[in-house]
Structure 1
Amino acid sequence: MKLAFRNACFSLSSRRLNPNPNLPLRPFSVRTASKFSVSPSLRRLGTATLCSASMAGGEGHTQPPPPSYPPLEKQFEGFRVQLDESGGLRERIRAVVMEVESTARIMHASLLLVHQVRPTPEVLERPKAQIGVLKELYNRLAEVLRECPGQYYRYHGDWRGETQTVVSHLALMHWLETGNLLLHTEVQEKLGLNNLEFGLDIEDYLIGLCFMSNELPRFVVNQVTVGDYDCPRKVLKFLTELHAAFRMLNLRNDFLRKKFDGMKYDLRRVEEVYYDVKIRGLTANDDSTGETTKQEQQQGHV
């Protein structure tokens, strides 16, 4: 009885769900229903899509675009412009430095005549005329550097070698005239250099003095040859004081230290000439001179 009632109910429901009796009705189960269920992730995706669509349709709710970064080509284009400007500036600096170098060669060629039998004022006449030319050239160099303020030491290597040579010539000329050392401020004044914008580097000044000391041993030998037997004493006194002054500096192992080490060999050569002249009795042998000579010898071996 129960089985017949169950079959009648099933047949009635199947007719309602399947109006076409020719097509069979597939049995509906829990496993089949799970296939048509929507996952939570899909529900969230659909909700986000609807929200974004509704916001896009509204006015005044557009999001700003992401920030755009400069491309690689734009960055290197800026580098190219900077390098071109720096290269053009170096060419202008080098053009002035070449004139400084040419003027320094003229001064050196004239100063070499001091080793011959010629009066010192006559020898120094032509080099002294070049000081005004050097002053004008350094003023031109300063004008070029005003275009790049704060970049003095970036381009300093383009003219430091020539400046050291100029300092050595000026120091030698000053010593030949006065017998004293040319000071740092005096060199700046001769060349028209300004401490604030375009000054004379201290190391360039010191290296120039070392270059100047290299010329003194030869000068001493040539002066003794022509009969000036008091010249070794004067040069020995000057080099001893200069060497002692350099010893006050804490020099690193660089080019300046190497040039200073060469100064002691210049001092030794002058000492040998002075000793020979002294032993031969060609110099004055009074008490004051002997006392000064003894002190100079002791300082020379420090």
Structure 2
Amino acid sequence: MKSAFRNTHCLTLSRYSLNPNPSILHFVPFIPYSRSLPSPVSRSLPSRSPLCLALFSTTMAGGDSESPVTSPSLEKQFEKFRVQLEDSGSLRERIRAVVMEVESATRLMQASLLLVHQSKPIPQVLEKANAQINVLKDLYNKLAEVVRECPGQYYRYHGDWRSETQMVVSLLAFMHWLETGNLLMHTEAAVTLGLNDSDFALDLEDYLVGICFMSNEMPRYVVNQVTAGDYDCPRKVLRFLTDLHAAFRMLNLRNDFLRKKFDSMKYDLKRVEEVYYDVKIRGLATTGDSVGDQGILKI
């Protein structure tokens, strides 16, 4: 029976060998038959004869003898890319360092303005907030010097300080309204922050988003002022937001972040209208101009 097995094994080797000549079989060592279970690795591999495995190992070893050589032009191009990416990363780190200082000054300004919701005197509140304006102006001048090192790349790095600038504009606009009752214009905001240069200016969308952020503070301000006994505040805020909402209607806004923020303005206006309506029907509102007596605006 053992001789029959050896004959069958030799026949199998002759089928898988490159040369079907049986004389080649004397180069293959005899592998004794074992009834032990195959290892997990061997079970996952397809069944092959020892000669096929030897030929396969020789082919794989010879295939890795030569490594690909990078062409000089390709290596030169990617070396240039490496230098550009490293320079860009270094510039972004410097920009981010300045932006973190802008965030710190903005938080201090915002903390000062929050006192207006506690019925603190407006001149006292504005005095603390105005102290940060010069700090912000110096920081934006510093940021402009960093960006000018890479001419023509303003919008490449603009996203690194976009959200911070929008918040700064909203705070400045709220302060301006508390002081004058009017809207802070784009040119006025640019001059205040020192962003009136041609190569480093106040982006128009950042200004508009900042104005939308400012309108979000109006309903809270109205509620707190009425609670404190200022029943004429809803009429003033209603007139301001109505004019502002009508002005935004003139713009053809796309379906982006600015459009979403503008859509939130109508809810701010509606909340102020509801407060004014409650004050009006209770007879607490003083007699004002016709704008305050127009009633609830249908949106």
| Contact 2:231-2:286 within 8 A present in 1 as well | no
Note the C-alpha offset of 1:194: 2.6
Note the C-alpha offset of 1:117: 2.2
**Is 1:292 aligned to 2:291, yes or no?**
yes
- Corresponding residue for 2:86? 84
**Is 1:240 aligned to 2:239, yes or no?**
no
Note the C-alpha offset of 1:293: 2.5
**Is 1:108 aligned to 2:110, yes or no?**
yes
Q: State the aligned residue count.
A: 229
- The CA deviation string for residues 239-267 of structure 1, in whole angstroms up to 9 with x for no partner, is 00000000000000000000000000000
- Corresponding residue for 1:249? 251
Distance 2:231 2:175 in 1: 21
Distance 2:260 2:112 in 1: 27
Give 1 or 2 for the bigger CA radius of gyration: 1
Which amino acid in 1 is paired with 2:94? R
SS in 2 for 1:71: helix
Which amino acid in 1 is paired with 2:291? T
- Alignment equivalent of 2:149, drawn from 142, 147, 172: 147
SS in 2 for 1:199: coil
Note the C-alpha offset of 1:176: 0.3
- The CA deviation string for residues 246-296 of structure 1, in whole angstroms up to 9 with x for no partner, is 0000000000000000000000000000000000000124xx63x33244x
TM-score when normalising by structure 1: 0.74
Note the C-alpha offset of 1:124: 1.0
- Corresponding residue for 1:8? none
- Alignment equivalent of 1:203, drawn from 180, 205, 209: 205
- Corresponding residue for 2:298? 301
- Corresponding residue for 1:221? 223
Distance 1:188 1:111 in 2: 21
TM-score when normalising by structure 2: 0.74
Distance 1:99 1:152 in 2: 20
Structure 2 gap segments, 5+ residues each: 1-70
Which amino acid in 2 is paired with 1:292? V
Note the C-alpha offset of 1:70: 4.0
Note the C-alpha offset of 1:74: 1.4
- Corresponding residue for 1:131? 133
| Contact 2:238-2:292 within 8 A present in 1 as well | no
- Corresponding residue for 1:187? 189
Distance 1:301 1:132 in 2: 42
Which runs of structure 1 show a deviation greater than 4 angstroms over 4 or more consecutive aligned residues?
none
SS in 2 for 1:292: coil
SS in 2 for 1:293: coil
Which amino acid in 2 is paired with 1:194? N
SS in 1 for 2:156: coil
| Contact 2:165-2:206 within 8 A present in 1 as well | yes
